[in-house]
Amino acid sequence: MFDDNLKERLELALGRIAELESASSEGCFLSDEAYADNEEYRGFLNEYFGEQAAFLLYVNKVREKRISGEFEKLSYEDLKKCNKALYSDVADGMYESSFTNPRYIAGTFEEMEIAPESCAKDLARELAFLAYELRSVIVHVFEKKDTFFVTMLELYLQAACEAESGSLNAASLKEILYWFVSDTSDDFMEDRTADQLIVGHSGITQWIAESDLSKPDYLYKIGEYVTEDEERLAAYLGTLPEEEISRMAATFTEGYKRGFILGGKPFEKKKTVSIRYELGFERLVREEMKQFKAMGLETTIYRAAANAVNRRQNIKIGFFGASPDEQMEYDHRFDDALFLDSKFVERKIGAVKLAYEKYAKEADVFGGPACMDTFGEVPFEPEDFEEVYHRTPAQQALNVSYSNESNAIVNQYIKGEERSFTIIAYPKPQIGDLFEQVFKETADINSLDYEKYKDIQQALIDVLDEADHVEVKGAGTNQTDITVKIQKVQNPANETVFENCLADVNIPLGEVFTSPVLAGTTGTIHVSSVYLNDLQFKNLKVTLKDGMVCDYSNDNFEDEEKSKAYFKENVLFGHETLPIGEFAIGTNTTAYAMGKKYDIVYKLPILIVEKMGPHFALGDTCYSRSEEVATFNPDGKKIICTDNEVSLLRKTDPSKAYFNCHTDITIPYEEIGVITAVKADGTRVDLIRDGRFVLDGTEELNRPLEA
pLDDT digits (tens, 9 = 90+) for 373-428: 999 988 888 999 999 999 999 999 999 899 989 999 999 999 988 999 999 999 99
Is a pLDDT exceeding 70 seen at residue 72? yes
The amino acid at 656: K
Q: How far is CA 366 from CA 104, 206, 253, 273, in A?
A: 44, 19, 15, 6
**392 occurs within a structural domain:** no
Calculate what percentage of the chain has a pLDDT beyond 70.
99
In a domain, 290, yes or no: yes
90 and 229 both lie in a single domain: no
pLDDT at 171: 94
The helix/strand count (H/E) of the chain reads as: 22, 19
Beta-carbon count within 10 A of 455 CB? 15
- Does a structural domain hold residue 630? yes
Residues 560 and 683 in one domain: yes
> pLDDT class for 271, splitting at 50, 70, 90?
very high
Measured CA to CA, the distance from residue 467 to residue 594 in angstroms comes to 32
Q: Would you say residue 192 lies in a domain?
A: no
Report which of 270, 263, 252 is spatially closest to residue 197, judged by C-alpha positions: 270
Residues 544 and 465 in one domain: yes
Q: Which residues make Cβ contacts (< 8 Å) with residue 645, sequence separation at least 6?
A: 517, 518, 519, 547, 579
37 falls in which pLDDT band (50, 70, 90)? confident
Mean pLDDT confidence for 303-315: 94
CA angle 335, 336, 337 (to 5 degrees): 85
Residue 443 lies in a domain: no
Task: Say if residue 380 is in the same domain as residue 483.
Answer: no
pLDDT in tens, 92-111: 999 999 999 999 999 999 88
Picking from 123, 143, 168, the residue at the C-terminal end of a domain is 168
How many other β-carbons are positioned within 10 Å of the β-carbon of residue 671?
A: 20
For residues 210 and 159, membership in a common domain is answered with: no
Q: Is the residue at 398 inside a domain?
A: no
For residue 696, is it within any domain?
Answer: yes
* CA neighbours closer than 13 Å in the CB half-sphere of residue 572: 22
C-beta of residue 459 within 8 angstroms of C-beta of residue 453: no
Contacts of 550 (CB under 8 A, 6+ apart): 543, 544, 577
Q: Are 623 and 643 in contact (CB under 8 A)?
A: yes
State residue 654's pLDDT score: 85
Same domain, 382 and 484: no
Pair 366, 415: CB distance under 8 Å = no
> Is residue 589 situated within a structural domain?
yes
pLDDT of residue 115: 53
When divided into structural domains, the chain yields a total of 3
* Residues composing the chain: 707
Q: Does residue 498 share a domain with residue 577?
A: yes
* Residues 6+ away with beta carbon under 8 Å from 1: 146
Whether the CB-CB separation of 591 and 441 falls below 8 Å is answered with no
For the chain, give the mean pLDDT: 94
Query: Final residue of a domain: which of 120, 143, 168?
Result: 168
Among candidates 480, 489, 485, which has minimal Cα distance to 469? 485
Band of the pLDDT at 112, cuts 50, 70, 90?
confident
Q: How confident is the model at residue 1 (pLDDT cuts 50, 70, 90)?
A: low
CA 34, chain centre distance (Å): 44
Side-chain-side CA neighbours of 478 within 13 Å: the count stands at: 24
**One domain for residues 233 and 160:** no
In angstroms, the CA 126 to CA 545 distance is 42
- What's residue 180's pLDDT? 97
Please say if the pLDDT value at position 369 is more than 70: yes
Q: Point out the domain boundary residue: 120, 152, 168.
A: 168
- Asked whether the predicted pLDDT for residue 32 surpasses 80, the reply is no
Whole-angstrom distance, CA of residue 48 vs CA of residue 550: 46
The whole-angstrom separation of Cα 575 and Cα 567 is 11
Q: Are 299 and 273 in contact (CB under 8 A)?
A: yes
What per-residue confidence (pLDDT) applies to 587? 95
Any idea what DSSP says for residue 602? G
**Do 30 and 159 fall within a single domain?**
yes
In this prediction, residue 117 carries a pLDDT of: 58
Interval 197-217: pLDDT, tens = 999 999 999 999 999 999 999
Residues 694 and 579 both lie in one domain: yes
pLDDT of the residue at 625: 84
Distance CA 205, CA 402 (A): 31
pLDDT given for residue 114 in this prediction: 66
69 and 162 housed in the same domain: yes
Residue-wise DSSP of 229-296: HHHHHHHHHHHS-HHHHHHHHHHHHHHHHHHHHHTT--GGG--EEEEE-BTT-HHHHHHHHHHHHHTT
Same domain, 605 and 692: yes
Q: pLDDT tens for residues 425-461?
A: 999 999 999 999 999 999 999 999 889 999 999 999 9
Cα(707)–Cα(594) distance, integer angstroms? 10
Residue span of the structural domain in which 214 resides = 204-326+360-386+417-422
Among the listed residues 370, 315, 358, 359, the one whose alpha carbon sits nearest the alpha carbon of residue 571: 315
663-703 residue pLDDT tens: 999 998 889 999 999 999 999 999 999 999 999 999 999 99
- Residue 673's nearest CA partner among 652, 690, 693, 692 is 690
